[in-house]
Amino acid sequence: MVSLAKVGHARRVARKTSFVGISPNRPHPVAVLAFDGVVLGDLAAPCELFGRARHASGALAYRVRVCSARPEVKAGLVALSTRWRLSALARAETIIVPGVEEIGGSLPAPELRALRRAIARGARVASICTGAFLLAQTGALDGLTATTHWRAAAELARRHPRVAVDPSVLYVDNGRLLTSAGAAAGMDLCLHLIRRDLGAVAAAAVARDAVMAPERSGGQAQFMVGPEPAGDEASSLGTLLAWLEAHLAEPLHLEAIARKAAMSTRTLSRRFREGVGATPAAWVNEKRVRRAQQLLETSSLSVERVAAGVGFGSATVLREHFGRVVGTTPTAYRRAFSVR
């Protein structure tokens, strides 16, 4: 029996952990939990993305196992035969909890006990879509912010009032406990974990292989039901974002961005909030950090030159934003992920 006190201790540790990195000397063990009623797409996506990731040496970065309590589970229109049991969950360092078709159900006792044990020993656990309902059953999300598909967010909040449910974001990273919105957001979360573990270059390579966007940040808004914008309005923000990414090294004050977009600063801020879930300044600063990650990995430029090259005024400003987004310093990041 795993005490909730141990789960609570693991939850407190999770809040303090963001920058991870994994050893290049052995594949990082990942377990994807399978159970009756599992959403097939949510189960397949982490297998696909983690299975593509490699270290700079070319070695596979992850060893992925799909595990279940019984040899066969029902997944919608198909039945899955799984090779690994819950003992694989006990050895995994990262565990993915896919979505469940019926959110009114609960994890059977063996799976729930195994998941609680994993959290108590400090494993990294991430849920996709309605998998947040299952992760919340462990008690580990109490006192933390979490997300799920926007259609199910109110029900998650009702069932688990101690969880701060944010229905407006793609994923939430609490360090060793992570949750994501719908199926596509689950892919974004997996790519985010790969970026944390292997760096920006490796994550971009996985995204190219999977023909998906290199990054949609966790704070980006979910696509909720609302009035459809007109064609020109719908495309203007995408055009502006592409222009901003191409001009990160330049001064990008709110007034300058608004002039480029032919909008008032107030309208621009509103459109950014609606479209990407962040202010223009926050979005630009995060993109600058991501560009800095790539330069730190692939070049020998000094931290000062990197800061200038991505549009931060000084190395001090870079360190401040880098620490907030990545969870470590530029120098430590370079030591961990440099491919030179």
The pLDDT value recorded for residue 247 is 94
Mean pLDDT, rounded, of the chain: 87
Banded pLDDT at 21 (limits 50, 70, 90)? low
Is residue 170 a contact partner of residue 188, using CB atoms and an 8 Å limit?
A: yes
Beta bridge partners of 295: none
Which residue in 51, 50, 45 sits closest to 131, CA to CA?
45
Cα–Cα–Cα angle for 319, 325, 331, rounded to 5 degrees: 40
Residue intervals of the chain classified under CATH 1.10.10.60 are 228-340
Crossing angle, helix 4-15 and helix 109-120, to 10 degrees? 50
Q: Is the pLDDT of residue 303 over 60?
A: yes
What whole-number distance in Å separates Cα of residue 263 and Cα of residue 201? 35
What whole-number distance in Å separates Cα of residue 127 and Cα of residue 289? 26
Backbone angles phi, psi at 168, to 5 degrees: -100, 0
What whole-number distance in Å separates Cα of residue 288 and Cα of residue 266? 23
Average pLDDT over residues 172-190: 93
Beta bridge partners of 29: 63
Residue intervals of the chain classified under CATH 3.40.50.880 are 4-209
Crossing angle, helix 231-246 and helix 280-298, to 10 degrees? 40
* Least confident among 23-27, 121-125, 239-243, 292-296: 23-27
The pLDDT value recorded for residue 298 is 92
Which residue in 62, 60, 83 sits closest to 73, CA to CA?
83
What whole-number distance in Å separates Cα of residue 206 and Cα of residue 174? 23
In which element (H, E) is residue 31 found? strand 28-33
Banded pLDDT at 222 (limits 50, 70, 90)? low
What is the DSSP track for 155-172?
HHHHH-TTSEE-TTBSEE
Q: Is the pLDDT of residue 69 over 70?
A: yes
Residue type, 231: G
Q: Which CATH architecture has domain 228-340?
A: Orthogonal Bundle (1.10)
Prediction pTM value: 0.77
The pLDDT value recorded for residue 9 is 42
Is residue 177 a contact partner of residue 119, using CB atoms and an 8 Å limit?
A: yes
Residue pLDDT, tens place only, 33-49: 999 999 999 999 999 99
What is the DSSP track for 239-302?
HHHHHHHHTTTS---HHHHHHHHTS-HHHHHHHHHHHHSS-HHHHHHHHHHHHHHHHHHH----
Place domain 4-209 in its CATH homologous superfamily. Class I glutamine amidotransferase (GATase) domain (3.40.50.880)
Cα–Cα–Cα angle for 217, 218, 219, rounded to 5 degrees: 95
Is residue 202 a contact partner of residue 192, using CB atoms and an 8 Å limit?
A: no
> DSSP assignment, residue 16?
T
What whole-number distance in Å separates Cα of residue 274 and Cα of residue 223? 9
Judge residue 240's burial from the number of C-beta atoms within 10 Å of its C-beta, 0-12 exposed, 13-18 middle, 19 or more buried. buried
CB atoms within 10 A of CB 305: 13
Average pLDDT over residues 62-89: 94
Is residue 66 a contact partner of residue 82, using CB atoms and an 8 Å limit?
A: yes
| Sole residue written with tokens 């693991």 | 10
Is residue 171 a contact partner of residue 177, using CB atoms and an 8 Å limit?
A: no
